[in-house]
Copies of this chain bind each other. A is one copy, B any other.
Amino acid sequence: MRILLVEDEPGLRVTVSDLLAAEGYETETAADGDEGLAKAAGGHFDLIVLDVMLPKRTGFEVCRELRQRGIDTAILILTAKTQVVDRVVGLKLGADDYLTKPFDPSELLARVEALLRRVHKNGHAPVRTFCFDEVEVDFERAEVRKRGEPVNLAGKELQLLRYLVDHRGTIVPREELLRQVWEYSSDVTSRTIDVHVAWLRQKLEDNPQNPVHIQTIRGKGYRFTP
């Protein structure tokens, strides 16, 4: 697995680089935006870890430029906590995940792993419309039908379904759902997710008591299977 790390601060660059290398990843580094863009466009990486504050070209610029060139390598963005707007902006530019500095090394590894797993095992691009059984979903227009009959999904239900569908085939941990769908820190004492999952099953599964598509993996999380 090849990872490109774009980070200007030498200390952090070495630390993270070593961390990834120790984990068995083949890492390459770049110290500013231009170099990062060049290497990213050239070598074939599985993941790019991109700092936002960079000389010459910001991480956001690099990110957008890559996407415009049609390069869809997974991108993990590193932002300083003080930067308020980053998350929104980054999402629009096509980044895949975020981490605010300072971060725990183990958390970086977890994110990297999650991204790589997602990209490689079943790298599903986000879908606009999706079908399974007799259910049709149009995420853009927020329209859901089962056997032709319109089904009313509330906002959170639709977001949850979308996230599960986008990661279909993989087990999605509760914590990940809390982070990505709900924008919680990591309280993890809420049963909200379970309730929404139950509602989704109620509305979409043929037999909600024996869910075929929205499965629970005990102790791990939930998994959507088409």
Contact = CB atoms under 8 A, between A and B. Distances in A.
Interface of A: 19, 21-24, 52, 58, 60-61, 64, 84-85, 88-89, 104-106, 109, 155, 217-218
A60 B155 contact: no
**Best-buried of A19, A22, A64, A88 by chain B (most CB within 10 Å):** A22
Mostly, the A contact residues are helix
Given A19-B85, A85-B109, A218-B155, A58 B104 contact: no
Tell me the number of copies of this protein. Answer: 2
Given A155-B218, A218-B155, A84 B105 contact: yes
A58 B24 contact: yes
A72 B198 CA distance: 42
B60 A22 contact: yes
Contacts of A60: 22-24
A56 to B, nearest CB: 12
A72 B19 CA distance: 25
A219 to B, nearest CB: 9
A22 B109 contact: no
